[in-house]
Amino acid sequence: MLKGKHIILGISGGIAAYKSVVLLRLLIKAGAEVQVVITPSGKEFITPVTLSALSGKPVVSEFFTANTGEWHSHVDLGLWADAMVIAPATANTIAKMANGVADNMLVTTYLSAKAPVFVAPAMDLDMMAHPSTVRNIELLRSYGNHIIEPASGELASHLVGKGRMEEPENIVKALERFFASKSDFAGKKVLVTAGPTYEKIDPVRFIGNYSSGKMGYALALEAADRGGEVTLVSGPVNMNVSHPRINLVKVESAKEMLSACESIFTDTDIAIMCAAVADYAPKHTADRKIKRETSDVPVIELVKNPDIAKTLGQKKRDGQTLVGFALETDNESVNARGKLESKNLDMIVLNSLRDKGAGFGTDTNKVTIYTRDGRELPFGTKPKEDVARDIIDTIMTL
């Protein structure tokens, strides 16, 4: 899978840099061409001589070669790469990447890279758990970078916890998996709905739900990374996405979401209905804020919202694949199968709110997938990015 691939190996300054030598060796053995880019403090941990001997290329660290004045073009490097792997990625480098602080060759190369970027964090457990690191890693994820989660175990500080850089063998596996699946969605037009919908009561109030949009955004990124042309129709969420193959359409209400979906559905190959659409909307929306002093306690009459998945299911033609979600608190499997039938879906992804680490607002999810051809596929609790991969892999089997 990695034969002939151009890979930039970015090394920042942490103890785990010694593992990067093994990673480099494995990448070269797998047939990749590797260009090492190291930060100034990375060189304190591992010598460029070892890295250039193994990669067969001079290691890049500075913007210029001091004695010749030769400029090292991060732009050319960014264009050359099929993938960039930053391992180890320290808290400092992650913070710079998340905020665009371009003060070294590694970060400028990252900012210029057009290729997918894999980030393998390595740091002490408390740094890993600090809200700023957590936020920066979330930001990197939202930019479409692939986070290779660190493992738990003994750290350089002798403390035990999460922060050990993933083993080089597993980083290579993540790259291989990526290149294996990279193009199986190529040319496919994909529609993903995500997030909640807000149904206006008056100009300042709405009916909504706790959906964060994380699962839908992870699905959109996975489908786009695998070559799909994705339209992501998103309700109001606190997330953003930037990917050359994702067209983000922001909507607020279920009606707006339906009309955005209907306008492109005929041209869609695969539609994934991940949004937590509000089932009801106020019958009337007040033009002005409902005032506490001047009105009686308001009674809000509700009307049913359109069922977007069902509407698309009725329009579905041969060759189109429609995937739904089911969020259940009880009678999970019966309800999920019922929705598969009643909405004319080809596959449904069940998350039960009874499972710990599943459902709204969490970074993880635990799903069971039911397919129209009668399969029931249970999966373990995983980060939503990995769940997205399982879902897209299963769509490929339909």
Catalytic residue positions, numbered: 209
Q: Could you count the other beta carbons within 10 Å of the beta carbon of residue 365?
A: 26
Phi first, then psi: give them for residue 245, nearest 5 degrees. -110, 15
Minimum distance, C-beta of residue 378 to ligand CTP, in the bound complex (Å): 18
Which helix (H) or strand (E) is 152 found in, with range? Answer: strand 151-154
Taking the least distance from each CB to ligand CTP, the nearer of 11 and 192 is 192
Which residues on adjacent β-strands are paired with residue 377?
Answer: 369
Residue 60 is classified by DSSP as B
Q: Is the dihedral of CA 281, 286, 292, 293 positive or negative?
A: negative
Choice from 91, 233, 327, 340 touching ligand CTP (CB under 6 A): 327
Nearest CB to ligand CTP, comparing residues 106 and 254: 254
CB of 379 to ligand CTP, least distance (A): 17
Kindly report whether the peptide bond that precedes residue 48 is cis, defined as omega within 30 degrees of 0: no
Out of 221, 277, 358, 388, the only residue in the binding site for ligand CTP (CB under 6 A) is 277
Burial 257-296 (b: 16+ CB within 10 A, else e): bbebbeeebeebebbbbbbbbbeebbeeebeeeeeeeeee
Residue 340 binds ligand CTP, judged by CB under 6 A: no
- Site residues (CB under 6 A) for ligand CTP, limited to 284-323: 305, 307-309
Please list every residue from 134 through 153 that binds ligand CTP, using CB under 6 A.
none
275 touches ligand CTP (CB under 6 A):
yes
> How far apart, in whole angstroms, are the C-alpha atoms of residue 61 and residue 106?
7
Rank residues 246 and 327 by Cβ distance to ligand CTP and give the closer one. 327
Q: Quote the least distance from Cβ 348 to ligand CTP, whole Å.
A: 7
- Residue 165 or 309 having the CB closest to ligand CTP: 309
181 φ, ψ (degrees, to nearest 5): -95, -5
- 3-state secondary structure (DSSP) of residue 250: strand
273: contact with ligand CTP by CB under 6 A: yes
Q: In whole angstroms, what is the distance from residue 158 CA to residue 119 CA?
A: 23
| Smallest gap from residue 128 Cβ to ligand CTP (A) | 34
Could you tell me the smallest distance in angstroms from the CB atom of residue 234 to ligand CTP? 12
Q: How many residues at the interface with ligand CTP, by CB under 6 A?
A: 15
326 is an interface residue for ligand CTP by CB under 6 A: yes
Contact call for residue 233 and ligand CTP (CB under 6 A): no
Q: Which stretch binds ligand CTP (CB under 6 A): 14-22, 50-58, 161-169, 272-280?
A: 272-280
164 and 16 in contact (C-beta within 8 Å)? yes
Phi, psi of 155 (to 5 degrees): -105, 170
Q: Decide whether 41 or 344 has the Cβ nearer to ligand CTP.
A: 344
Nearest to residue 113, comparing CAs of 89, 142, 149, 85?
A: 85
Instruction: Tell me how far, at minimum, the Cβ of 368 lies from ligand CTP, in Å.
Output: 13
Does 199 interact with ligand CTP (rule: CB under 6 A)? Answer: no
Spatial contact of 121 and 150, defined as CB atoms under 8 Å apart: yes
Q: Which stretch binds ligand CTP (CB under 6 A): 123-131, 158-166, 325-333, 387-395?
A: 325-333
DSSP state of 289: P
For helices 168-181 and 17-29, give the axis angle rounded to 10 degrees: 50
Residue from 270, 325, 359, 367 binding ligand CTP (CB under 6 A): 325
Write out the residues near ligand CTP by the rule CB under 6 A: 193, 254, 273, 275, 277, 279, 305, 307-309, 324-327, 339
